[in-house]
Amino acid sequence: MADGVIVVGTYEGALLGFSAKEGKQKFGYAPHQGCVKALHCNKIGRLVSGGADHSAKLFDLKLGVELVSLQEHDDTVNCVEFWRTTTLVTGSNDGYVCIWRCHDWEMLFKFHAHKSAVVSVAVHPSGRIMASCGRDLSVRLWDLTRGTSAAHLSIETVAEALEWSPSGNHIAVLSARELSVLDAKTGDLAKFSDSSVGTFLHVPLTALLFLTDELVVLGDGKGELRILRFTPGTSSLQVVCSLPAEGNRARIKSMTRTTEDDAGVVFVVGTSSGVVEIWRFTAVDGSATDSSTFKQLLEVNTGARLTCMAAWMEDAVETKASKRMRMRHRKAAEKSAVTAATGVKPQKKTQVRKQNQKGRRRNK
C-alpha cells in the first residue's frame, strides 16, 4: 500500500496527521476553537474541516499549508464533503447548506435546507444531486446545478449519516436504531436493526460505509464492525460477518474508504478512544462470505479523543485540471506568505507589464 495521510479531528480543535503506511505522526495543528465536527479529503490532497467555531477551513496536505477559512455559517459546521476537485458542500446547525466552488472558494448557492440542524450531506457520484438529513426528521434531495429542492422524505427518527453507493444506485440512511438502504432505480428498501433495539441494553448504530454496491460496513456504540449484504428485491440486510479486534474496540466514530486497486479496497476505521484501524477487503469478485476476505493492515493509537476522520492516499490519480488547480492554490499560498512577511501585496503580471511600458515611453 502506498503511503498517505490519516487525519483525525479532536474535541480540543486539533488536527493530527499520521502516516498511513507506518503510523508515525506527521503533523499536529489546532485551527479551530472548540470541537472539530467533520473532515473530508479529495483526491488531490485538499482537506476541509468543519468546527464548532462556525468555520470551515481548507488545507493543502501536499504543501502543509492552510488555504482559506470559510465564515459563512452562523453556527457549528456539522458536515463537509467534496465532490471530486471542483465542488465543496458544507452544512451547519443553522439549518443552511452552502455550495462552494473549489477554484476560487466562491459561494455558488446558500439555501435553508432544514428547519433545524443539518446533520449529514452526501453528494451523488454524478455531482448533480445531493442528499441531506436534519434534526427536523427529514431527508431531502437537492439539485446542485440550481440549488433547489428535488424531493422530501419524512422519517420517524433522526438520521445520523447518509451515503451513496459507489455507483450511485443506492443510498443508505443511518439512525441510531436502524440502517436503511434504498435502491434509487427500483425503490426497493432493505433495513437492518440490532436485536437489542427496544430493550434496556440497546446499542446505538454510529457509522456506515459502502465497500461495494452490495456490501456495507456498519459500526456501533460498543465497537462492533459488521459486514452487511444488500440484495435488491429483499426487505432486510443480511449479516455476512464481523471484523475481529485485538482486545476491546471502543465506539466506532468514523469510517472512510480510501483506494481501490487489484489487491482490493482499503478503508479506515476510527474509534472514540483514538485508535485507527486500516483494513483491506481482498475479495477479487467483490463478494464476501466470511472475515477471511478482510485483512487488517495497520493499527495506530493516536492518543487523542477522536471526533472525526479523513484519509488521503498519495498515489491518487491527479488529472490535468486538478494539477492546474493545485498550482493556482500553491501560487496563492506563496503570495499570501509574501504579503504576511513584507506587508506588500505582490503585483499581477499585467500590472508589472503596464508599468514597464510606461517607463519605456518616458525614456523615449
pLDDT digits (tens, 9 = 90+) for 73-125: 999 999 999 999 999 999 999 999 999 999 999 999 999 999 999 999 999 99
% of the chain with per-residue pLDDT over 70: 84
- Quote the CA–CA distance of 126 and 329 in Å, as a whole number: 25
Write down the mean pLDDT value for the chain. Answer: 88
Give the pLDDT confidence score for residue 260 in this predicted structure. Answer: 78
d(CA 315, CA 261): 11
State the pLDDT at residue 125: 96
4-320 CATH pick, 3.40.190.10, 3.40.50.1000, 3.40.50.150, 2.130.10.10? 2.130.10.10
DSSP 8-class letter at 221? T
Asked whether the predicted pLDDT for residue 195 surpasses 90, the reply is no
- List phi, psi (to 5°) of 95: 85, 0
Residues 6+ apart with CB under 8 A from 140: 113, 114, 131, 132, 133, 134, 149, 150, 151, 152, 153
Distance, CA of 292 to CA of 235 (rounded, Å): 27
Rounded distance between C-alpha atoms, residue 2 and residue 73, angstroms: 37
Over residues 159-183, the mean pLDDT reads 96
Between 342 and 34, the more confident residue is 34
340 Cα distance to chain centroid: 31
CB atoms closer than 10 angstroms to residue 195: 9
C-alpha cell at position 248: 476491546
- The predicted pLDDT at position 286 comes to 64
Q: 300-348, pLDDT tens digit by residue? A: 999 999 999 999 998 654 444 445 554 564 565 455 444 544 555 555 5
Least confident of 155-159, 183-187, 268-272, 320-324: 320-324
Name the CA radius of gyration of the chain, rounded.
Answer: 22
CB 62 within 8 A of CB 313: no
Distance in angstroms (rounded) separating the CA atoms of residues 253 and 173? 16
The ranges assigned to domains in the chain are 4-320, 321-364
Give percent of the chain with pLDDT exceeding 90.
73
Question: What is the reported pTM?
Answer: 0.83
> The dihedral of CA 312, 22, 279, 202: what is its sign?
negative
pLDDT score of 285: 67
Beta strands in 42-95 (DSSP E): 46-51, 56-60, 65-70, 77-83, 87-92
pLDDT at 275: 97
